[in-house]
Amino acid sequence: MESSLPVAERPRRPEWLKVRAPSSDTRFYDVKKLLAGASLNTVCEEARCPNIAECWGRGTATFQILGDTCTRACRYCYVHSGRPQHAPDPLEPLRLAQAAATLGAKHVVVTSVDRDDLPDRGAAHFAATIRALKAKIPNCSVEVLTPDFLGAEERALATVLGARPEVFNHNIETVRRLHRRMRGAKASYDKALWLLARAKEVAGYPILTKSGIIVGLGETNDEVVDTMRDLRAHGVDVVTIGQYLQPSRDHATIDRWVHPDEFRWLREQGEALGFGSVFAGPLVRSSYRAEEQKHAAETGRGAFTY
């Protein structure tokens, strides 16, 4: 059940959720300048990711293509929602690839806002971005974190996977009971599972599939395990589990702070279900240390708690 306490009355963040501010002796400000100069969006900024200082400090970022306005309005997400005013920028894939090359990236994560206003839901732009990255950085692996491509799923999957990304990610986000309430009427828990399973069928080559869950929205740990069980039954290789952080008063209220011991238990459950990689922890996000997630799944290193 959702808490009625206003943000101001919520308990302070526990110690395990506190992060360091950006440091001048890391690459943080170089990354910030590079992205601004290339007019590129990142989900790190748009979604107020708590790991931005760490990730940018290491010279990594998660690129957000197709603009900064999402046609959905999920109750947990800070990304701006509304009606996009512009068509996809045809030069964005080239600028993104150049920025990734400048960063010396070996694994690049590309996500996007939902673009229900586009006939292909943005699939061609994803494919163009993957091709640009592979042309600019031949040895780089690419991970795409896609929307659900509502109404154009088959064609969109064929388009995106035709560019041969190494990892296909679609986040289920929350448990079945809360899915519609948190994600809205357009989203479907079962369609998310279908999309992940169908991606492997459409790809026609070895591809890792991945999904993420956020906790602290009112679910139980048993429901999280049930969700992992559903994901595994649909062939998902990698799962991430992290704490929900309420971005504003207008968003869903935090139900609880999930203790690191609970994340450790969830990680163990996921490992027992047979995932190639389980990253679980208060500050874990879908693209957090994504290259390590991929490597863990490929080498059998397995599960991590952060």
DSSP state letter for 281: S
With a cut of 50, say whether residue 83 has pLDDT above it: yes
Long-range contacts of 178-185 (CB under 8 A, 24+ apart): 178/217, 178/218, 178/219, 181/75, 182/74, 182/75, 182/76, 182/217, 182/252, 183/72, 183/74, 183/75, 184/72, 184/73, 184/74, 184/75
With a cut of 60, say whether residue 1 has pLDDT above it: no
For residue 2, what are the CA distances in angstroms to 29, 218, 254, 256, 257?
A: 38, 6, 8, 10, 13
| Residues 230-245: tens digit of each pLDDT | 999 999 999 999 999 9
Residue 302, pLDDT score: 61
| Residues 255-282: tens digit of each pLDDT | 999 999 999 999 999 999 999 999 999 9
Sheet with strand 277-280: strands edge to edge: 41-42, 62-65, 107-112, 141-145, 167-169, 208-215, 238-243, 277-280, 302-305
In DSSP terms, 248 is beta-bridged to: none
Give the lowest-confidence range in 18-22, 168-172, 209-213. 18-22
With a cut of 50, say whether residue 3 has pLDDT above it: no
Contact 17/256 with Cβ under 8 angstroms? Answer: no
With a cut of 70, say whether residue 197 has pLDDT above it: yes
Average pLDDT over the chain reads 93
pTM of the model: 0.93
Please name the residues in contact with 151: beta carbons below 8 A apart, sequence gap of 6 or more: 116, 121
Give the pLDDT band of residue 26 (cuts 50, 70, 90).
confident
Residue 6, pLDDT score: 46
With a cut of 80, say whether residue 86 has pLDDT above it: yes
The structural domains of the chain, with segments of one domain joined by +, span 7-305
Give the pLDDT band of residue 300 (cuts 50, 70, 90).
confident
With a cut of 90, say whether residue 2 has pLDDT above it: no
Q: Does domain 7-305 have CATH number 3.90.1150.10?
A: no
Residue 304, pLDDT score: 58
d(CA 8, CA 297): 41
Give the pLDDT band of residue 4 (cuts 50, 70, 90).
very low
Q: What percent of the chain has pLDDT over 90?
A: 88
Residue 53, pLDDT score: 92
Give the pLDDT band of residue 303 (cuts 50, 70, 90).
low
Provide the CB-side half-sphere exposure for 216 (13 A, CA). 23
With a cut of 50, say whether residue 69 has pLDDT above it: yes
| Residues 148-186: tens digit of each pLDDT | 999 999 999 999 999 999 999 999 999 999 999 999 999
DSSP state letter for 48: T
